[in-house]
Structure formats: C-alpha cells, structure tokens
A and B are shown apart, each in its own frame.
Chain A
Amino acid sequence: MDDAKDEVDFSDDLLLAQRAVAMDARARRDVVTRLLKPVQRIVYGLVRDDSEADDWVQESLIEVIKSLKNYRGETKLEYWSKRIVVRTTLRKVKARRSRDSLVTPQDELPEMRDERPNPQTMLRRRLNHHLSKLSPEQSEALTLKLIHGYSVEEVAKLTDAKVNTVRGRLRNGRALLREQLLADPILREWAARNLR
C-alpha cells in the first residue's frame, strides 16, 4: 500500500508527541484536545453511563500523556493510546469493584429513562443490564471481546489474566448472557413488535 504516505502521517504524530514530551505546553494541549473525544468514546463504551466516567477519561488522558515518551510513531496516536486507555479504565474500575461491576445496570440510571429511546439505546441498555448480572470478570472479558473487538490474547493482556482463563470466562459468560438475553421479556416483546 502507500507505505511512504503512512509513514509521513505518523511522523507528524511522532513530532507532536516529542514536542509534548519535551514539555512544550502547546503540543501537550494539542494532544489532549485531539485525544479527548476518542478517549471519551472508549471509556464511555467500557463503563457506560457511570457517574465516574469523566474521572476515568481524565485519568486515562493523564496516563497517555505520561506514556507519550514510549510512542514511536509506528501507528496513529489515537490507535496507540487506545490500549493505555482501556488498561487505565479497567484498573480504575477494578479498584472499586468491591461495590460495583464493570457495567452499571442501566435501568437504575434515571437520566437514561427517556420516554421513547431509540432501539439502539434500548438494546444496548438491555445488554448492559444483563452484562452487569454476570461476574465482573466475565462481563469485562465479554465487553472487550465482543464490543471492542480485542482478540482473546489481547483481552488476557489487558486484564492481567491467562489466555485460558479468559477463554473460560468468555465461554461461560457468553452462554449465560445468551440465556439471559433470550429470556428477557422486554426484548421478546420488542422483537414480537418489530421483527417478523
């Protein structure tokens, strides 16, 4: 493909990162501003409408800036930072897992109870609801694998678990999730109305 062009693009990213590392205030601001939205999407996707999502966004961005010195310009800055963001968010979530799980039950969030949610919102909400009933490890593995598209090996790395353990979590979690989804009366009703 157009390797030369790709290289040039990333070298711009690299230069920006180097300037940011070299304590150039403007470059740091540029990096943070540029990564804010992508990072928000990843974090919101992981923790959904968690009230602390913004805190995780902030923590993740700080981690990314601190890790910039390791950026080698081999991939796009956004892509490179994704792993750091996922890791940071998972770590933070784990830290308070004693009282919560990765996915907050959506039904309990009043601001999300709009009168006529679009199907996507409703479906995602049902999925989150059922994910939250699984063990935190299972829902975490499923979220990363099914929603974020990480490979089993990558999920293992991100969650500090063995590959086989992750496989087990995925297998069991998937079976449970499927069972729950298919037994969900809300989904059944929706399907009856909309899918013929």
Chain B
Amino acid sequence: MSEHRQHNLDSEDAELLDLLLFALDDEELVSDEVGGEDAAILRMVMEAAQAEVEVPQNDLRDHRIINAVLEETRPKQQTQWHYWAAAAAVAGLVLGGLAFWSAQTQEPVAPPVVAAAPLELRPLLNEPEDKLQVAHAVTAYSDTAFSIGEDVGILLEKDSVATVMHADTDGIEIRVLKGAILANVTPNKNVNLLVHSGDSTVKVTGTVFAVRAGKNADVKVLRGSVKVQRASAKTHAVKGGESLVFENEKVSTFDPATEWKAWTYHEVLERRGEKEQAWLDVQGTPGATIKVDGKVLGTSPMRVTVAPGKHSVSAHKDGMESKSQDVSALVDRHSRVVFALQSKKAPTSIDTTAKATEAPSSRELLNRALAFRKKKQWSKAAAAYNDLIRQHPRSGEAKTSLISLADLELDRLKRPSKALQHYSRYLRSGGGLSQEATYGQIRAYRRLGDKNNEKRTIERFLKKYPTAVQAQALRSRLKEL
C-alpha cells in the first residue's frame, strides 16, 4: 500500500497525480476494464479509505471507556471463589504449559455457602506501598515483603513478580510469575496456602519455603514440609532441607539456615506478627489505676502500647472521682492522656476534664491524610481521615473527607460496605459533592453485588443528574440490571 499522505483541495495537481502513481495495490476494485479517469477515481477513493482512521482526541471519552472496561472486567469476590474451587477440581488434570490459565476456563463448580472474610495485605518493608497493590489481587515486585493476614509472610527476591490471586479466610493463592518468593507460614494454624509456579502447585499448611519460577523452577523447603502437585497429577512430598526441581522432579538437599540468610530482608518475616502500633502516655494524678478498654494495665504515670484507633481510658484512685475518656491513638504516635483526679468531696465544678493533648487540628489531620495518600499508604490515609471526621465532626474538612475516605475504602482498600457508610453519611446532610456520593453508592453496591440497591440508586441518580458524565454508562448498566 502506498504511504499515507495528507493533502488538501489546494494541493497541486502534480502532487495528486503523483499520489496516483503510488496508488493502491488493490487491483480488485480497479480492474483492467477501467482506465483513465475512472481508474484514478477508484484508486483515490480506496487510498482514502485505507488510510489510518483518525480518532478525534477526547480525553474524557477515553477516560470513561477505560474506567468502564476496568469496572466491567474487575474480578468479583464470588468469581474468585469459583476459580479457587475450579482450580482445586482440575488440579489433577494434565494441564500443559499454561495450566493455570486453562484452569480458569473450567466451568465453576457450585460454590459452597461460606462467607470467606478477605485477609488484609500489609507491606512489611518500610517503603512505598505502590510496590504492593493492596487489592483483591496484589502484584509485588522486587525486594518486597508483605504479610497476608496474621499467618503468612511473603518475601520477594530482587526483580521478581508475584501475584496474590486470592486471599481470604478460606485460603490464599499466589502465583510466582518471575523470580522467586519466600513464604513463611505460621505452623498449626491450618492456613490453606497454594503457590503456583508454571504448571506446578505447592500446597502448604505451616512451613517456610521458597518457590522459584522460570526455567529452573523449584521449591526449597526450609522448615516443615509441602506437597507439590505437578500438572501431570503427580504429587511429591518435600521435607525441610529438601528441594524439588519441578521440571525433572529431582529432589536434592540443601542447608536451610544458609538459604534463610541468603534472603535479603529475611528478618522482616520474623517480625511480621507485629502490628501497627500507637502509644498512650497516661499522666496526671500519680498512682491511679489505669484501665484501657476495661483492662487494668497498671498505675499512672505509664505508657501503654495499643493498636491505632479509639480506646477508652479510665483512671481510678481510692478517695478520688474516677475519670474516663475516649482517646484516638494515632499510628506511630504518642498520645498524651492527662487525668487530674479530684478528691471525691471536692467540688466538681473545677476543671477536671481529662484531655488528650496534642490533639491535631482538622487541617493538620487533613494534611496528614493527604500526605499518606501521596505516598499511597492507603490504610494510614484512611486512619487519618477517620481521625479527622471523629475529632472534628463539624469542620468543613470532615465533610469533604467523608467522600475522600469513601473513595479510598472503595477503590483502594476494597471495603465497599465501609465506603457505603461514608457516602450515605455525606448524603444525609447533603452538600456540593452529592453527585459524587451517589455515584459512589452505586459503585459500592455493585462491588457488593447488591443489584436491587444498585438499580434503585442508579434510577435516583439519573433522575437527579440526567446529564452527568456517568449517565450514559449508568443507563446501559440499568439495562443489564
């Protein structure tokens, strides 16, 4: 085909005729019977038709299409379970090179009626969270360590790619796509973990082992034992200190201690049980018994390590008025709680209010949330928004934060029911972001699979905002529903 050329009506005849000489090699329309001007017309028409189609630039349209496609093809929780069941069902089949993908085409078996709770994925290394996408599925790249729930720690070798396909209380599935991972599973906790590499699957309940993908794909068991299922339906039990090369199914031995140390950041797996922490520094009247969430923890002054979030702190001392207060403990922060207890007989009008000092302003909390967002530390951002909303419920920041928090819960933390609460709370008092909030509700219902409410909310949305950007997509969604 002749090269595509731009020209306009003012072009020189010569240029147009020149173009004709390079005319299409399509001899089917321009046959021998036609010649002269006729042939020229036909050639020019075909030239124009075969030139690359110009797509008018429209970012909004493109954005809408991309989001609609992603939304439509988003893996659903239920589907993941189907896949899980299907994968288990076909594990014994001869699967071939891309066994895993063909497994997905199997008809899903009837899902058992089990409400599996999703497990949280948390990065264990102090580094940007974007290496680790906390989602239904997570892809982790080189030198990353993360935990899945309480009992599984995963470490990725440099330049490795692994995907968590599924992680809930029913089980966890990981595929090593490139490089190797080290998995550390708490023993005796009945953790159902499958690690796929190529056409092999390593099944484990409590152990430490490394799985490698690629040419020399293998598993090395550092502690405990694993079962390896090959595509050929063959299974192998591999014990601590043994490794199995999938390809030739050859077992050899190695020193687990050396292997363990060879892994950069291996120590983070030992620490993975540790949660995010916060501290309460309880001060004031000395010698008062301090209870946190109803548990006696000691006497003031004292420092208490707590999980971030709201805690009820109280101080009791014989002959004094007891005091209690709800305190929000912020992640990685020391929150000071001061109890100035008064003698029981003393007048209570004196200011004895216990107060948590260092209570940040709404603006500070908002900035904190924004900073975490920027760093893609979604859980921390959510915590900051929550603090802002709780501590300064009447502030303007709190109001708009409801939408930000809801979006965060929905899109990043995959907690649609929480998102729904925040959108609804915003809508109860109304505001300039009502359209966004209603659209958010629709998305949340969809994520939850609540078709009735989704439909109702779409109808409400279209009635109220018929010309909204999302209206067209919602109308077609309504048809599906």
Identify the A interface with B (CB < 8 A).
15, 18-19, 21-29, 32-33, 36-37, 40-42, 44-45, 54-55, 57-58, 61-62, 65-66, 69-70, 72, 116, 118-124, 126-127, 145-147, 149, 170, 174, 177-178, 181-182, 187-188, 191, 194-196
Contact = CB atoms under 8 A, between A and B. Distances in A.
A119 B8 contact: yes
Given A22-B175, A127-B48, A177 B55 contact: no
Contacts of B314: none
A5 to B, nearest CB: 19
B73 A118 contact: no
Nearest to A65: B73
Contact of A33 (B61, B66, B139): B66
Contact of B48 (A22, A57, A69, A123): A123
A29 B70 contact: yes
A66 B79 CA distance: 13
Contacts of B52: 41
Given A118-B6, A191-B44, 14 more contacts: A19-B139, A21-B104, A23-B136, A23-B137, A23-B163, A25-B137, A29-B70, A32-B70, A65-B69, A69-B104, A69-B105, A124-B49, A195-B16, A195-B37
Contacts of A57: 65
Contacts of B105: 69
A127 B45 contact: yes
Contacts of A123: 44-45, 47-49
Listed residue (B20, B44, B68, B133) with the most chain A CB atoms within 10 angstroms of its CB: B44
B21 interface: no
A26 to B, nearest CB: 6
Interface residues of B, number: 60
B38 interface: yes
A18 B53 CA distance: 30
B66 A29 contact: yes
A62 B163 contact: no
A25 B139 CA distance: 9
Interface string B159-183: 0010101000000000101100000
A37 B412 CA distance: 27
Interface string B27-49: 01101001001101110111111
A195 B40 contact: yes
Contact of A24 (B34, B38, B53, B163): B163
Contacts of A58: 65, 68-69, 72
A126 B41 CA distance: 11
Classify the interface of chain A: helix, strand, loop or mixed: helix
Contacts, number: 159
B304 interface: no
Interface of B: 6-9, 11, 13, 16-17, 20, 26, 28-29, 31, 34, 37-38, 40-42, 44-53, 55, 61-62, 65-66, 68-70, 72-75, 80, 98, 101-102, 104-105, 133, 135-139, 161, 163, 165, 175, 177-178, 476
Contacts of A118: 6-9
B41 to A, nearest CB: 5
A18 B40 contact: no
Contacts of B175: 22
A159 B45 CA distance: 24
11 contacts: A21-B104, A24-B139, A29-B70, A32-B70, A65-B73, A66-B73, A118-B9, A119-B11, A121-B48, A124-B51, A194-B13
Contact of A178 (B34, B47, B50, B135): B34
A177 B61 CA distance: 34
Nearest to A22: B163
A92 to B, nearest CB: 12
Listed residue (B101, B133, B175) with the most chain A CB atoms within 10 angstroms of its CB: B101
A36 B135 CA distance: 24
A120 B133 contact: no
Nearest to A184: B41
Nearest to A55: B476
Contacts of A178: 29, 31, 34, 42
